[in-house]
Amino acid sequence: MTQAAAPPAVRPYEAYVYAYPHKTAYRPLPDRPALRDVWRGEPKDTLALYLHIPFCEVRCGFCNLFTRTGAPAELTARYLDALDRQAAAVRDALDDGGPVRFTTAAFGGGTPTHLDPGELDRLCDIAEHRMGAGLRAVPLSVEASPATATADRLAVLAARGTTRLSLGVQSFDDREARAAVRPQRRADVEAALARVRDTAIPVLNIDLIYGIAGQTTATWRASLDAALAWRPEELYLYPLYVRPLTGLARRGAEPDAAWDERRLALYRQGRDHLLERGYEQVSMRMFRRAGGAPQGPDDHACQTDGMVGLGCGARSYTAGLHYSFDYAVDAHRVRGIIDAYTAAADFTTARHGRRMDAGETRRRHLLQSLLQAAGMPLADYRARFGTGPYDDFPAELADFARRGWLADPAAGTLRLTPEGLAHSDAVGPALFSPRVRAAMAAYEAK
């Protein structure tokens, strides 16, 4: 009997898939559909709300998010004015048919806590009074940096109902922080963590990055243990990526096979270390302390249909259309987009986005479900779409199985093996449709 050939090798870090289709597949919408029409007929009783603040005190070397540094006070005030105008227009569109109810909320960026306490209060007012999200009644997640997690800002967030604070630490080693172009001192990080723990915010998440230049298994273990000393309810472990137009890319850092293997080894070390210390794996990146209940949208739930995004950098998702404003990384282009946003008077239409058909909807559901450690019940997929995932994606799933990435579905759940989870950043891109791949390939970084 001839032995089947091994499938060709793939890179384990093709792309971080936190949404599908990827934002680089979005294009200007020539018809600029009215938001009233976009949301008409959509279920609006379990909406997620996301507000984006595109300001940071510094841009980290790995960051390709939509954000700018050095924002003067008058700009943040103008931005909040525009956010208020947009919120009024969006809420008016949502009110055109059917009850509106928000069940989760999140503030991201950028760094929402770049805003001062008064501005944070106003941000909460926009979410609560303009959009109608009861922040004290739903999970509210907020991102922060050590430098901006000040006692006065945290007091505002706690008073307004924040249930989860995510602190971007990345490394407790000062040399590694500098290597990632993230100037910070461990002493300041520890002080920020102490301030967070002094508040009434129930869930602390700490972000850490592996694969930084000079990082070793010993320094990675030291960062993990430093984080665990604070008994965070959640931990996110991110592989370092070098993306176009970022600080690390300008330094000439390029991925190679040896770096891939180092990152895989550090991932496995971090995963095993957390599992041994009472954490449960939710996805490749996300770990939750055993017994802890979610207190905010995670990297899966916040990408479901029925998400309303406000601000530059925010995306909104309906069944038929994903839409946003323009996206850029280059500082000059980002500033131009923010300036245009703050000057805009009309927020009644969708400007950039991608329309979703039945095939893309199936791909998105499979991709998002499969990248979770719990996997996807096959019966749920069939009940939603009338077909099975093996009917719709036979080649992709067969390839995953040959690689040892799929567990036996005999129990009725399609689930990645531990090695499959380790290769999530290859699994996700493998499920992209040819059309989305072509649109992403044609995108010009800016």
Q: What residues does each domain of the chain span?
A: 23-303, 358-442
Is residue 300 very low, low, confident or very high in pLDDT (cuts 50, 70, 90)? very low
Return the pLDDT at 294: 62
In tens, the pLDDT along 269-293 reads: 999 999 999 999 999 999 999 987 6
Q: Which of 14-18, 145-149, 418-422 has the lowest mean pLDDT?
A: 14-18
Return the pLDDT at 1: 42
Q: What is the mean pLDDT of residues 238-257?
A: 78
The domain at 358-442 falls in which architecture? Answer: Orthogonal Bundle (1.10)
Q: Which of 154-163, 279-288, 404-413 has the lowest mean pLDDT?
A: 404-413
Return the pLDDT at 409: 86
Q: What is the mean pLDDT of residues 115-133?
A: 97
For residue 295, pLDDT over 60 is answered with no
Question: Going along 212-305, which residue ranges are E strands?
Answer: 234-239, 279-281, 286-289
Return the pLDDT at 242: 83
For residue 446, pLDDT over 90 is answered with no
For residue 169, pLDDT over 60 is answered with yes
Residue 23 is given by DSSP the state G
Q: What is the mean pLDDT of residues 136-157?
A: 96
Is residue 249 very low, low, confident or very high in pLDDT (cuts 50, 70, 90)? confident
Q: What is the mean pLDDT of residues 250-275?
A: 88
Give me the phi and psi of 141, to 5 degrees please.
Answer: -110, 135
Integer Cα distance of 164 and 200 in angstroms: 10
DSSP string computed for 284-347: SSEEEETTPPP-S--TTGGGSSSEEEESTT-EEE-SSEEEE-----SHHHHHHHHHHHHH----
* Mean pLDDT score of the chain: 92
Return the pLDDT at 87: 98
Integer Cα distance of 296 and 349 in angstroms: 29
Contact status, residue 43 vs residue 97, Cβ threshold 8 Å? no
- Strands 55-56 and 140-144, bridge-based pairing: unpaired
Integer Cα distance of 301 and 112 in angstroms: 20
- Rounded alpha-carbon distances, angstroms, from residue 381 to 124, 301, 363, 378, 387: 37, 16, 11, 5, 7
Return the pLDDT at 298: 53
Return the pLDDT at 254: 60
For residue 196, pLDDT over 60 is answered with yes
Q: What percent of the chain has pLDDT over 70?
A: 95
For residue 245, pLDDT over 90 is answered with no
For residue 3, pLDDT over 60 is answered with no
Return the pLDDT at 297: 55
Return the pLDDT at 209: 96
In tens, the pLDDT along 32-69 reads: 999 999 999 999 999 999 999 999 888 777 777 778 88
Q: What is the mean pLDDT of residues 140-147?
A: 96
Return the pLDDT at 2: 45
Q: Output the pTM of the full model.
A: 0.94
For residue 411, pLDDT over 70 is answered with yes
Which single residue is written with the structure tokens 């039945």? 358
Integer Cα distance of 229 and 275 in angstroms: 15
Taking the CB of residue 213, how many other CB atoms lie within 10 A of it?
15
Integer Cα distance of 117 and 154 in angstroms: 8
With respect to CATH, is domain 23-303 assigned 3.40.640.10?
Answer: no
For residue 320, pLDDT over 60 is answered with yes
Q: Which of 5-19, 220-234, 244-258, 301-315 has the lowest mean pLDDT?
A: 244-258
Taking the CB of residue 444, how many other CB atoms lie within 10 A of it?
6
> Residues 6 or more apart from 124 whose CB is under 8 A from it?
135, 156, 160, 161
Q: What percent of the chain has pLDDT over 90?
A: 78
Number of H helices, E strands in the chain: 17, 17
403-15-167 Cα angle (round to 5): 120
